Amino acid sequence: MSFISRRTLLKLGITSYIGTKLFHPLYAQTSNPTYLNIDYKTLEIKGKAAKLYGLFQNNGKEGLFLKQNDGFNIHLTNKIEEPSLIHWHGLTPPAALDGVPHLYQDPLLLNQTYQYSFPLKKSGTNWMHSHMGMQEQSLLAAPLIIYDDKDPYKNVQEIIYMIHDFSYKKPEELLHTLHQQSPTNHQHHQSVMDLHDIAYDAHLVNDRTLDDPQIVPIDKGDVIRLRIINAASSTNYFIDLGSLTATLIAVDGISIVPLKGKIFPLAMAQRLDLIIHLPREEGSYPILARLEGQPTQTGLILKSKSSYIKKIPETNNKPADIVGIQLEQNLKALNSLVVFSDHKTNTAYFTIKLIGDMAPYNWGFDIYNHQTKDNNFHVTHNDWVEIFLSNQSMMSHPIHLHGHHFQILEINEKKIQGAVRDTILVPAGQNITIGFHANNPGVWAFHCHHLYHMVSGMMTHLKYI
């Protein structure tokens, strides 16, 4: 078990009291704490009960909904029998509060509590999930929404739309099956298998399938905001609005130059904020999440008062496209991170090859540091960091860096002033360059957000030195 020393914690501006499970940065918290529990939940999925996990406030509400000015003041308690710990995906806390087990914190045991307190640097659509083992596949995740009083859409109806892929099998069993694949068997199914590692039993939106979808009441002519979170462990989707048109205003909780559309690709761990001006006549409107490369779909239905609801099948009449750079190449940050000239100083350059194969099922990173001429993934505080991500495998990889937000600078060597994100999908055989300010000292997880790739080797750490 590896922990960061107390001396290092003090350098990071954090005081930790491990014995009583208190984690406080040097930050004056004024808001009342919110109590959050890791607990069990039972869902009926296609007529069969499934015992899963969830993240609940004391009042039973799932998820966190906070005001930015109040800061992050959370008491997290583990009420399940397995050790667990939660990562605050999209936030940039001090490193010791990030929620990766065995890096700065022990996992929480049954009935143990951690107290977290740090300022919130931005509003937006985020989420939280377990980074312990494979608990995320068992739905140990929830929305984490941060509100800003200056948000121009703060008074419109808001709809949370959280997607999961689901199997009745234990994730460890699914992983074992993947590791049992032989190269000979894989060759016969390469095109299908390299899109979808796992044949899931169901795909859920807000814990429900299209057999019994959530029906969201709306008023004709209103404006609504969809906060869409792909919490699936190994599935990319297309969000299909059908007859509606939306304006995309943010990705990964960060504002972009608004972009209109009807269909939006969404990779694992990514988020979309969509503004929809509803028609002035009564109607019902399915909002579908369609699996890439397959006809399978899930979703929910928006319904005005006197409209009729038509049953939506779980299989479309044609397969969805494959998620690639369709949207990414057209996104532009509203507030760019890039403030350096072309001749940057204090710049760290890395080339990271995304490598691996389905059979044997092994994945990883081949890292090259252009300054030190080795594989050290190290930066210094206040560096401008650029990473050339080159996917040399046959699968796409959603790459997530903890504790930072990065900007998309190039797609296939074409310079762009792309979106600012925390997770970027690098399609098979393609290259994407990201850049960010090294402004949050510590040791940070850097990994593929495809759960089965991550636990099969596609995870490393960015270290400040």
Mean pLDDT value of segment 405-423: 97
Q: What is the mean pLDDT of residues 203-214?
A: 98
- Decide: 245 and 258 in contact? Cβ < 8 Å: no
Mind listing the pLDDT tens digit for each residue in 92-138? 999 999 999 999 999 999 999 999 999 999 999 999 999 999 999 99
- Of the pLDDT bands very low, low, confident and very high (cuts 50, 70, 90), residue 346 is confident
pLDDT above 90 coverage of the chain, percent: 87
Tell me the average pLDDT of the chain.
92
How far apart (Å, rounded) are the C-alpha atoms in residues 377 and 119? 28
All domains of the chain in start order, with CATH: 6-138 (2.60.40.420), 159-323 (2.60.40.420), 347-464 (2.60.40.420)
pLDDT value of position 185:
54
Structure tokens at 396: 């796409």
CA dihedral 17, 18, 20, 24 (to 10 degrees): 40
- What pLDDT sits at residue 362? 96
Q: Which band of pLDDT confidence, cut at 50, 70 and 90, is reported for residue 289?
A: very high
Handedness of CA 117, 120, 123, 126 (dihedral sign): negative
**Three-state secondary structure of the chain:** CCCCCHHHHHHCCEEEEHHHCEEEECCCCCCCCEEEEEEEEEEEECCEEEEEEEEEECCCCECEEEEHHHCEEEEEEECCCCCECEEEECCCCCHHHCCCECCCECCECCCCEEEEEECCCCCEEEEEEECCCCHHHHCCEEEEEEECCCCCCCCCEEEEEEEEEECCCCHHHHHHHHHCCCHHHHHCCHHHHCCCCCCCCEEEECCECCCCCCEEECCCCCEEEEEEEECCCCCCEEEECCCCCEEEEEECCEEEEEEEECEEEECCCCEEEEEEECCCCCCEEEEEEEECCCCEEEEEEEECCCCCCCCCCCECCCCCCCCCCCCHHHCCECCCCCCCCCCCCCEEEEEEEEEEECCCCEEEEEEEECCCCECCCEECCCCEEEEEEEECCCCCEEEEECCCCEEEEEECCEECCCCEECEEEECCCCEEEEEEECCCCCEEEEEECCHHHHCCCCEEEEEEC
Residue 339 — pLDDT band, cuts 50, 70, 90?
low
For 59-85, how does the pLDDT look when each residue is reduced to its tens digit (9 = 90+)? 999 999 999 999 999 999 999 999 999
Tell which residue, 426, 421, 393, has the closest CA to residue 407.
421
Residue in 411, 425, 397, 121 with CA at minimum distance from that of residue 271: 425
Please count the other Cβ atoms lying within 10 Å of the Cβ belonging to residue 11.
Answer: 13
pLDDT 10s digits, 7-66: 444 344 333 333 335 544 445 555 799 999 999 999 999 999 999 999 999 999 999 999
Confidence label for 345 from pLDDT (cuts 50, 70 and 90): low
The one-letter amino acid code at 109 reads: L
pLDDT at residue 107, rounded to an integer: 98
The whole-number pLDDT of residue 9 equals 41
The pLDDT value given to residue 193: 39
3-state secondary structure 377-440: CEECCCCEEEEEEEECCCCCEEEEECCCCEEEEEECCEECCCCEECEEEECCCCEEEEEEECCC
Q: Is the pLDDT of residue 324 over 70?
A: yes
Question: CB within 8 A of 264, min separation 6: which ones?
Answer: 238, 239, 246, 248, 272, 274, 327
Higher pLDDT, 347 or 139: 139
Taking residues 448-460, report their average pLDDT: 98
| Per-residue model confidence (pLDDT) at position 31 | 76
Give the Cα separation of 462 and 446 in Å (integer).
7
What are residue 387's phi and psi, to 5 degrees? -125, 120
The confidence score (pLDDT) of residue 195 equals 83
Q: Which residue has the tokens 């994407």?
A: 432
CA distances 116 to 22, 35, 66, 441, Å, are 7, 11, 14, 18
pLDDT of residue 247: 99
Find the mean pLDDT for residues 247-255: 99
b or e along 358-370 (b: 16 or more beta carbons within 10 Å of the residue's beta carbon)? bbebebbbebbbe
Least confident of 24-33, 248-257, 376-385, 401-410: 24-33
Residue that the structure tokens 């994945």 belong to: 363
Please tell me the distance from the alpha carbon of residue 326 to that of residue 97, in angstroms, as a whole number: 35
By percentage, how much of the chain surpasses pLDDT 70?
89
Question: Which residue did the predictor score with more confidence, 127 or 186?
Answer: 127
Tell me the average pLDDT across 237-265: 99
Q: Is the pLDDT of residue 270 over 70?
A: yes
pTM of the model: 0.93
177 and 197 Cβ atoms separated by less than 8 Å: no
Sign of CA dihedral 102, 74, 125, 67: negative
